[in-house]
Chains A and B, each alone.
Chain A
Amino acid sequence: MSPLKATIRFIVNGERHTVAVEPIKRLLDVLREDLHLTGTKEGCGEGECGSCSVRMNGELVNSCLVPVLQAEGAEIQTVEGLASSGALHPLQQAFLACGGAQCGICTPGMLMAATQLLSLNPNPSQREIREGLAGNLCRCTGFTRIIESVIAAAAPPAGPARQASHAR
Chain B
Amino acid sequence: MRTGEKTRIVGAAVPRKEGVDKLLGRARYVDDITRDGMIYGATVRSTIPRGLIRSVTYDRRIDWSEFTIVTAADIPGKNHIQMIFADQPCLADGVVNHSDEAIVLLAHPSKHKLREAVSGVKIEYEPLPGVFTIEQSERRQIIVWGADNLIKSFLLEKGDVDSAWSGAAHIIEGEYRTGAQEHLYIENNGMIAEWSQTHGITVWGSLQCPYYVHKSLLAVLDLPGEKVRVIQTETGGAFGGKEDYPSTLAAHAALLAIKSRQPVKMVYDRMEDMAATTKRHPSRIRHRTALDQHGRLLAMAIDIATDAGAYATLSSTVLSRATLHASGPYACPNVRIRSHAWATNTVPYGAFRGFGAPQAIFAVERHMDEIAAALSLDPVQLRRINFLHKGDTTATEQLMREPIILDHLLDRALSESGYYGRREQFARENRLSPVKRGMGIAAFYHGSGFTGSGERTLNSVAGLDVTREGKVRVLVASTEFGQGTNTILTQIAAETIGIDYDDVLMAPPDTSMVPNSGPTVASRTSMVVGRLIERAGAQLVARLRQDTELGETFTRQEFFSACERYRAAHGEVVSLCRYQAPPEVFWDDERYRGEAYPAFAWSIQIAQVAVDLVTYAAEVEQFWTVQEVGRVLNPVLAGGQIEGGVAQGIGYALYEKVILENGHMANNQMTNYIMPSAEDVPPIHVFFEEIPFSHGAFGAKGIGELPHDGPAPAILNAIRDATGVGFHAIPLLPEDLFALLAAPEPVAEAAAR
Residues of A within 8 A of B22 (CB): 101, 104, 107
> In the bound complex, how far is the Cα of B32 from the Cα of A133, in angstroms?
24
Interface string of A88-114 (1 = CB under 8 A from B): 100010011111011111111001000
Question: When the two chains form their complex, are residues B14 and A167 in contact, meaning their CB atoms are under 8 A apart?
Answer: yes
Among listed A4-12, A68-76, A135-143, A154-162, interface-contacting one: A135-143
B186 touches A103 (CB 8 A): yes
A44 to B182, CA, bound (A): 14
Please state if A137 and B481 are interface contacts (CB–CB under 8 Å). no
Q: Which residue of the partner chain A has the closest CB to B484? A: A102
With a CB–CB cut-off of 8 A, which chain B residues contact A37? 25
If A134-B679, A144-B684 touch, whether A49 touches B644 (CB-CB below 8 Å) is no
Q: Is the CB of A137 within 8 A of B670?
A: yes
Question: Any chain A CB within 8 A of the CB of B677?
Answer: yes
Q: How far is the CA of A165 from the CA of B483 in the complex (A)?
A: 21
The listed residue (A45, A96, A99, A137) touching B637 by CB distance below 8 A is A99
0/1 string, B23-57, CB within 8 A of A gives 1: 11111110110000000000000000000000000
Q: Please give, as numbers and ranges, the residues of chain A lying within 8 Å of B645 by CB-CB distance.
A: 142
Contact B186 A43 (CB under 8 A): yes
Among B26, B32, B186, B647, the residue within 8 A (CB) of A49 is B186
Known: A40-B25, A92-B24. A130 touches B683 (CB 8 A): no
Assess whether A103 is in contact with B482, with CB atoms less than 8 Å apart: yes
Q: Which of B28, B636, B647 is the one whose CB lies under 8 Å from A38?
A: B28
> A41, A103, A126, A133 — which one has the most chain B CB atoms within 10 A of its CB?
A103
Q: Give the residues from 23 to 41 in chain A that come closer than 8 angstroms, CB to CB, to chain B.
A: 32, 37-41
* Chain A residues whose CB sits within 8 angstroms of the CB of B669 once the complex forms: 44, 46, 48
Determine how close the nearest CB of chain B comes to the CB of A143; give it in whole angstroms. 4
Which chain A residues border B238 with CB–CB below 8 Å?
103
When distances are taken between beta carbons in the complex, the residues of chain A under 8 Å from B16 are: 96, 99, 101
Q: Is the CB of A167 within 8 A of B12?
A: yes
Closest Cβ–Cβ distance, residue A87 to chain B (whole Å): 11
A145 touches B639 (CB 8 A): yes
- B501 close to A (CB within 8 Å): yes
Contact indicator A98/B185 (Cβ below 8 Å): no
Question: What is the distance, in angstroms, from A83's C-beta to the closest C-beta of chain B?
Answer: 6
| A59 CB contacts on chain B under 8 angstroms | none
B648 at the interface (CB under 8 A from A): yes
Cα–Cα, bound, A57→B636 (Å) = 35
Interface residue? B643 (CB, 8 A):
yes
Residue B235 at the chain A interface, CB threshold 8 Å: yes
What residue in chain A is nearest B670 (Cβ atoms)? A48
Query: In the complex, A55→B304 CA distance in Å?
Result: 51
Q: Which of A79, A97, A133, A144 lies in contact with B683, CB distance below 8 A?
A: A144
B678 proximity list for chain A (CB < 8 A):
129-131, 133-134, 136, 138, 143, 146-147
- Cα-based distance from A136 to B643 in the complex (angstroms): 17
Residues of B within 8 A of A167 (CB): 12, 14
Interface size class of A (residues with CB under 8 A): 35 or more
A137 to B678, CA, bound (A): 7
What are the residues of chain A within 8 A of B24 when measuring CB–CB? Answer: 39, 79-80, 82-83, 88, 92
Q: How far is the CA of A51 from the CA of B670 in the complex (A)?
A: 12
Contacts of B677 in A (CB 8 A): 134-135, 137
Separation in Å of the B1 CB from the closest CB of chain A?
26
CB distance from A149 to the nearest CB of B (A): 10
Q: In the complex, A101→B19 CA distance in Å?
A: 7
CA distance A105 to B235 in the complex (A): 8
Asked whether A108 lies within 8 Å of B25 as measured between CB atoms, the reply is yes
B29 touches A142 (CB 8 A): no
A166 at the interface (CB under 8 A from B): yes
Q: How far is the CB of B11 from chain A (nearest CB, A)?
A: 12
A164 CB within 8 Å of chain B: yes
Chain B contacts for A99, CB-based, 8 A: 13, 16, 636-637, 639-640
User: Which of A48, A88, A141 sits near B20, CB closer than 8 Å?
Assistant: A88
Q: Which residue of A lies closest to B647 (CB)?
A: A142
Complex Cα spacing A139 to B26, Å: 20
Interface membership of A78, Cβ < 8 A: yes
- Asked whether B187 is an interface residue with its Cβ less than 8 Å from the other chain, the reply is yes
Contacts of B643 in A (CB 8 A): 141-145
Q: Does B391 contact A (CB under 8 A)?
A: no
Interface string of B325-341 (1 = CB under 8 A from A): 00000000000000000
CA distance A145 to B647 in the complex (A): 12
Give B230-247 as 1s and 0s: 1 = Cβ < 8 Å from A's Cβ atoms.
Answer: 000011111100000000
Question: Is there an interface contact between A141 and B640, defined as CB atoms closer than 8 Å?
Answer: yes
Q: Is B184 an interface residue (CB 8 A)?
A: yes
Q: Which residues of B contact A49 (CB under 8 A)?
A: 186, 670
B269 at interface by CB-CB < 8 Å: yes
**Roughly how many angstroms separate A135 CA and B481 CA in the complex, as a whole number?**
22
A150 to chain B, nearest CB (A): 10
**A16 located at the interface, meaning its Cβ lies under 8 Å from any Cβ of chain B in the complex:** no
The reply to whether the CB of B654 lies closer than 8 angstroms to some CB of chain A is no
Q: Which of chain A's residues have a CB closer than 8 A to the CB of B13?
A: 97, 99, 168
Report chain B residues within 8 Å CB of A139: 183-186, 237, 239, 644, 648, 675
| Residue B270 at the chain A interface, CB threshold 8 Å | yes
Q: For B18, list chain A residues within 8 Å (CB).
A: 104
CB distance from A151 to the nearest CB of B (A): 13
**Distance in angstroms between the alpha carbons of A130 and B681 in the assembled complex:** 9
**Contact residues in A for B12 (Cβ distance below 8 Å):** 167-168
Contacts of B234 in A (CB 8 A): 104
CA distance A20 to B298 in the complex (A): 76
B502 CB–A CB distance under 8 Å: yes
Given the complex, which residues of B lie within 8 Å of A101, measured CB to CB? Answer: 16, 19, 22-23
Q: Which residue of the partner chain A has the closest CB to B235?
A: A103
Query: Is the pair A138, B637 in contact by a Cβ cutoff of 8 Å?
Result: no
Pick the contact of A46: B28, B270, B637, B647 (CB < 8 A): B270
Q: Please state if A166 and B502 are interface contacts (CB–CB under 8 Å).
A: yes
Q: Which residues from A are CB-within-8-Å of B639?
A: 99, 144-145
| Complex CA–CA separation, A55 to B648 (angstroms) | 29
CA–CA, A42 and B235, complex, Å: 13
Contact (A78, B25) CB under 8 Å given A43-B270, A98-B636, A164-B15: yes
List 5 other contacts, CB 8 Å, given A40-B25, A104-B18. Answer: A96-B20, A99-B640, A103-B186, A105-B186, A140-B640
Pairs of residues from A and B, 9 with the lowest C-beta to C-beta distance, nearest first: A39-B25, A105-B236, A103-B482, A142-B647, A104-B22, A102-B482, A79-B25, A48-B670, A38-B32
